[in-house]
Structure 1
C-alpha cells in the first residue's frame, strides 16, 4: 500500500508540474508579440557581436588569416548562444514570482495544494525547453549569415556542460526568485542587475584573464564561466569529457549540489516570511 500511495503521489505531482509547463506555454502564446520582439533583439545582438569578429582585420589594422577570423567568429558565437540559453533559463526561473504578480495569480498558486518543489520544478522544465528552442532559432538565423565550421568540435562534451550548467543555474535562478518575493516593487529590477553582473564576470565575450584580479576570483564562483569556457574547449579544441571533467564538470556539479537545495531552502523561508508579512499581493 505504501508503494502504491507513493506511486499515486508521484504521478499527481508530475501532472501538477506539467500543468506549470502548459501554463507557461499559454503565457508565451498570449504575449507572442513580446516574444517575437525579444527573439529579434537576441538575433540582432548576436549578429552584431559576430560581425565584430568578421571586421576584426579592419578594426585592428592587422593582417589576420581567414582561419583566425573564423575562430574569432566562432569564439564570440559560442559566447552569444550559450549566454542566450543561460540567461533565458535564469530569467524564466527568477521571474516566476514576477509573472505570478503580473497575472494576478500569486495568492492562488501559493494556496494550491502542491509542493513548492513541484511548482518550481515545472517552471524549470519549461525554462529548459524554452531556452533550447529559443537558442536553436537564434543559431538557425545566424547560420544564414555565417558559415559555421564545427569539424573540430566534440558535441558530447558540450552537451554534458549544458546539462550540468542547467542544473547549476536552476539553483541560482531559484535563489534570485526570492528577490521579487520579498521586494514586490523592486525585486524584478534586482534580478536584472544580478543577471548583468553574472554577464560581466563570466567571460561571455572575452577570457576572464583580462579582468582585474579580484573580478577573476568572483568569476570562479559563477557557473556561467565554467559552461562558457568549457564549451569553447569542447567546440574549438575538441576537448573530451575526460579532459573537461575536473576543470569544468566537477565545479558545475558541486555548484548545483550546493545551490539547488540552498535555493529551495531560502525560497521556502522567504515564502513563509512573505505570507506572515502580507507580501503576497497581486500588484507590486
Structure 2
C-alpha cells in the first residue's frame, strides 16, 4: 500500500513539474492556442463558403469539420505534451537527473501522460468555446455518452503515439523533433480528419485501417451527428478494430 502511495505521489510530482514548465513557457502556450483557434475557424468557415447547401447541410458540414479540427487539436496537444517534455528537459539540463531518479519509468510515464491529457482537453475545450461563438450549431442529434467514451478511448492511442515518438529526439538529437512531425503528418493524411477515408486513393486506404484515429473519428461523428448510442453495432464496429490495434501495440512494446 505504501509503495502505491509513493508511486501516486511521484506521478503527481511529474504532473506538477510539467505544469511548472508550461507556466515558464506560457508565451508558447498563448501562441499555440491562438494558432489552433484560428486554424479551426479557417477550416469550419469552408462550410459557410460552400455554395448551394441547405441550412441543415451547412450545420452538418460545420460539425463534421469541427469534429476533425477538435480531435486533431487534442491529438496534437497530447502528442506534444509527451514529446516536447523531452526537448524542454534537454534545454533545462535536467533530463539526466530525471532518468537517474529512483522511480520506475512507468511512474514517470503516468505522471507525464496524465498531464498531457489534461492539457489537451483544456486546449480543445477553449477552442470549441471560441468556435461555437462564431456558429449557431444544432446539437440536438448528439449522443454525449458516446462522444465522451470515444474521446477517452482515443486518449490511449494518442498517448501511445506520443510515447513512441518521444524516443526520436533522444535517438536523433538534431533531427528527432522533425521526425515526430512526419509521424503526425501521416496520421493527419490517412485518418480522415477533414474528409472520409473513402476519398483516398485505393492503395492508401489500407493505411487508414492501421490508424486508431480513424476509428475514434468515426465513433465521434456517429455519436455527434447521428445520435448513435454506445451499445449500437455501428459504434462497436469501430471499437473492436481500435481495441485490437491498441492491444497489438502494447504487446509489441512489451
TM-score (norm 2): 0.96
**C-alpha contact 2:222 2:235 (8 A) present in aligned 1:** no
User: 3-state SS of the aligned residue for 1:83?
Assistant: helix
For 2:136, the equivalent position in structure 1 comes to 147
**C-alpha contact 1:161 1:227 (8 A) present in aligned 2:** yes
For 2:84, the equivalent position in structure 1 comes to 95
**C-alpha contact 1:46 1:80 (8 A) present in aligned 2:** yes
Offset at residue 97 of structure 1 (A): 2.0
**2: CA distance between counterparts of 1:167 and 1:206?**
23
Let me know the Cα RMSD of the aligned residues: 1.3
For 1:233, the equivalent position in structure 2 comes to 222
For 2:117, the equivalent position in structure 1 comes to 128
Q: Identify the range of structure 1 (223-232 vs 90-99) with the bigger mean alpha-carbon deviation.
A: 90-99
User: 1:43 and 2:33 equivalent?
Assistant: no
Extract unaligned runs of 5+ from structure 2. Answer: none
For 1:272, the equivalent position in structure 2 comes to none
For 2:159, the equivalent position in structure 1 comes to 170
* Structure 2 residue corresponding to 1:17, chosen from 11, 17, 20: 11
For 1:71, the equivalent position in structure 2 comes to 60
**C-alpha contact 1:169 1:256 (8 A) present in aligned 2:** no
Offset at residue 163 of structure 1 (A): 1.3
Extract unaligned runs of 5+ from structure 1. Answer: 1-6, 58-62, 266-284
User: 3-state SS of the aligned residue for 2:210?
Assistant: coil
User: 3-state SS of the aligned residue for 1:144?
Assistant: helix
Offset at residue 245 of structure 1 (A): 4.2
**1: CA distance between counterparts of 2:140 and 2:235?**
22
Offset at residue 262 of structure 1 (A): 3.7
**2: CA distance between counterparts of 1:122 and 1:86?**
18
User: 1:110 and 2:110 equivalent?
Assistant: no
Label 1:112 to 1:196 Cα distance change in 2 as closer, same or farther (>3 A).
Answer: same
TM-score (norm 1): 0.86
Label 1:91 to 1:261 Cα distance change in 2 as closer, same or farther (>3 A).
Answer: farther
User: 3-state SS of the aligned residue for 1:213?
Assistant: coil
**C-alpha contact 1:171 1:262 (8 A) present in aligned 2:** no
For 1:60, the equivalent position in structure 2 comes to none
- Runs of 4+ with >3 A deviation: 260-263
**2: CA distance between counterparts of 1:144 and 1:97?**
36
Offset at residue 88 of structure 1 (A): 1.1
**1: CA distance between counterparts of 2:204 and 2:226?**
26
**2: CA distance between counterparts of 1:53 and 1:172?**
31
**1: CA distance between counterparts of 2:97 and 2:248?**
30
User: 1:26 and 2:15 equivalent?
Assistant: no
